Chains A and B, each alone.
Chain A
Amino acid sequence: MSVLNKIFFFFIFLLINYQILGQEDNSYDLLTERYVDRPIAMHKGQLQFNSGYEFSIINRKYDVSGKKIDLATDGSVSAKHLMPFELKFGILEYLQLTASTGYASIGLRNQNHNIGSSGSILYVSELTRYKGFNDLFLGTALTAPIKWHPVNFVISAGIFLPLFNHEPDKPEHSYTILDPTNGSASLIYKYNNKYSGGAMIGLLGTSLKIRTSRISLTGSFIYSTGLKDAKSVDWKFRLVENEFQYQKDEYQFNPGITINYYSEVAVQAIPWFTITSAFNGYKSSDGWSNITGKKVGYIKKSLNNLSLGYEILVSQNLRLEQHVILPVSGKNIMAQWAFLTGISLNIITFAD
């Protein structure tokens, strides 16, 4: 049974059973808790399934000095489609388990390049695809047993497991003679990469939520690092008599260190409607690969985003959220504006 089928059947299982399982004690109060009152982690017995759809347009990049480059002018705007999946479960009031992944499809274009020579033109275009499931994240969150409601403090740890195939498929480059008389031709480079990173990554983080009657402030900080060197393959190619020949070479890499930070202000407009605004970003460094035959360090990258959104408490079991995410600054990275629609199914499987 494929992973998708398993997720589907689990989802159906939740839909069938939530009414049977979830009607005890203070379940209703816990499930209809206002956004600003909710703890960062799950309540004891709370099972939460989050999913949705995020559409992004990769329309800018930041160079080494942080200067913004418009990809529309550069001729390389791309789209990204992402479906995140996340499952959270509160084993105890202060202990939560998390599993998450996501399925994505991205097609990155490079600027077309026309190379002229004595009456003929070579039209060169390039597409790099990323498609498939992301690495599986398994994590745990420990809530500090602070009884004072305004403060909620969580320490989290987890690991990204390269469960899905991360090695790129064979490229599908093509060379087509357009005009035999003058030799004009079209050269298309098409790379078929996977979305999965392929490295085992350890993660340690902390989150703090300050809660008032109408507003909550949340901040989190996550440190992650590659736990061991990972392997992947690189497809070397050459053009022989208008046909591409490929050779698969193995190489090692390490994703290095990434620091993620997130801060959010949430305003409880009415009990079932919350407006949120967030600032988040990340910095990565110390990664390397020997794809070229020598161990070469990855260039440092950073990106900061601002987002604005809302959450609606549709029913005791269902929450709906939408966010617009805009990049504001970065270095050595492509950036995207994104529109995320998410749903959250919640049940209380057992209560005190």
Chain B
Amino acid sequence: MKKTLYICICFLSFGNLKLFTQIEEMIIPSDLKQQTIITEPMTLRKGFFRAGISANFIMIDRLFNEDKKKDYVLGTNSYGKTWSYLLGLQYGIIDRLQVSVRIPYANNQYFISTRITYPSINYDTILAFKTIGRGFGDIEAGFRCQVVTESESFPSVTLGVYGVLPTGPKNPKNIKSDIEYDLPTGNGHASLTADIMLKKISYPYSLTLYGYYYYHFKGKKVMFPYEDAIEFKNGGVFSITAGFGFHLNDWIALVNDIGILTHTENTYYYSQTVESPGGWDLTYQPSVYFQIRKFRFFEIIQIPLLGKNGGADPIYSLNLQYIF
């Protein structure tokens, strides 16, 4: 009887051992590099390196006015379109700590065209100018740290700190007139951002909550042609965004973010201090991600829904990333 009992115990032990071994993770690094926006952790794993480029486009057409009404930009006789390109590099120092650098390149164009008529002297002409700003912008560098890893009941929590240095040109150049000159591509001031991001994965879904505060240091630059440089300080920016992402299939994911952003007034220290009003906006941001092995291509449209004293035009973003 004892012998039979021993055999049964041994059999059950082997069985359990086999069951236990079934949950051992058999993931190789190349698989981890192919994780999607839904399944990846919020920081790169140790030794992983990601490079990416993005192109963003906006046409300046409408804005939210002081009364929170979406209206067209009228009476300014100009329109603008902005392409900005961004080279982003990220590296995982350890599984929970990632450093990153972002180098922007701007291509801003503003068109001004006005017909001018003086009937009394039979004068009728069209003045058309194109103001361009091309060049590198302000470089951003920082780190992101995963302070809490995801568990069954709790999301992962990461904290990020990023600094922007005023490396781009900040003053107008090649001034031909007060409306014809080369636009600066830098902001002329340093900034510091602190953010927190929570993420919970429940395959094929993920939920994210993201908040940040952007602090701008005081700067000094020439605001408009023929003016002296003045000191200025942009207001702080606070934003909270909630996101819901899901897989459409194994390699295509759709992410829907909705966020609110507030910004306080900017101050310009002329002989008399001038302030531009603060405001806020509520945006919906759908994005579609294509994960093709280690390549990731994604498109984002940022659509302002409501707002006050801010832009009301959608921003388009095309992005390509590769993880080494």
Contact = CB atoms under 8 A, between A and B. Distances in A.
B112 A315 contact: no
A116 B75 contact: no
Nearest to B110: A72
A125 B77 contact: yes
Contact of B77 (A55, A75, A107): A75
B117 A113 contact: yes
Given A76-B113, A107-B62, 4 more contacts: A53-B301, A57-B59, A75-B111, A79-B59
B252 A113 contact: no
Interface in B100-132: 111-120, 126, 128, 130
Interface string A67-95: 00000111111110100000000000000
A112 B115 contact: yes
B313 A111 contact: no
A115 B111 CA distance: 20
Contact of B117 (A73, A74, A107, A114): A114
Nearest to A78: B61
Chain A, interface residues (CB within 8 Å), range: 35 or more
A75 B74 CA distance: 12
A315 B248 contact: yes
Contacts of B116: 113-114, 116
B75 A112 contact: yes
Chain B, interface residues (CB within 8 Å), range: 20 to 34
B62 to A, nearest CB: 7
A77 B59 CA distance: 10
Contacts of A123: 75
Contact of B74 (A76, A114, A125, A320): A125
B72 interface: yes
Contact of B120 (A75, A81, A117): A117
Given A53-B301, A315-B248, A117 B128 contact: no
A294 to B, nearest CB: 29
23 contacts: A53-B301, A57-B59, A72-B130, A75-B77, A75-B113, A78-B61, A109-B79, A111-B77, A111-B113, A112-B114, A114-B117, A115-B117, A115-B118, A116-B117, A117-B120, A127-B72, A127-B74, A186-B75, A190-B74, A314-B249, A314-B252, A320-B252, A341-B299
A188 B114 contact: no
A111 B74 CA distance: 11
Contacts of A116: 116-118
Interface of A: 53, 55, 57, 72-79, 81, 107, 109, 111-118, 123, 125, 127, 129, 186, 188, 190, 312, 314-315, 318, 320, 339, 341
B49 interface: no
A111 B126 contact: yes
Interface in B287-324: 288, 299, 301, 313-314, 316
B203 to A, nearest CB: 16
Contacts of A190: 74
B77 A112 contact: yes
Nearest to B290: A312
Shortest 3 CB-CB contacts between residues of A and residues of B: A75-B113, A112-B77, A116-B118
Contact of B115 (A55, A77, A81, A113): A113
B119 A117 contact: yes
Contacts of B314: 55, 81
Contacts of A125: 74-75, 77
Interface in B65-116: 72, 74-75, 77-79, 81, 111-116
Given A315-B249, A318-B248, A188 B75 contact: yes
B78 to A, nearest CB: 8
A314 B111 contact: no
Contacts of A314: 248-249, 252
A125 B114 CA distance: 10
Given A312-B252, A315-B248, A115 B119 contact: yes
Contacts of B79: 72, 75, 77, 109
A76 B79 CA distance: 8
Given A127-B72, A188-B74, A112 B61 contact: no
A112 to B, nearest CB: 4
B305 to A, nearest CB: 13
Nearest to A118: B120
B284 to A, nearest CB: 12
Nearest to B301: A53
Given A107-B61, A314-B249, A320-B288, A77 B111 contact: yes
Nearest to A114: B116
A55 B112 contact: no
A312 B297 CA distance: 14
A341 B316 CA distance: 12
Given A57-B59, A339-B316, A74 B75 contact: no
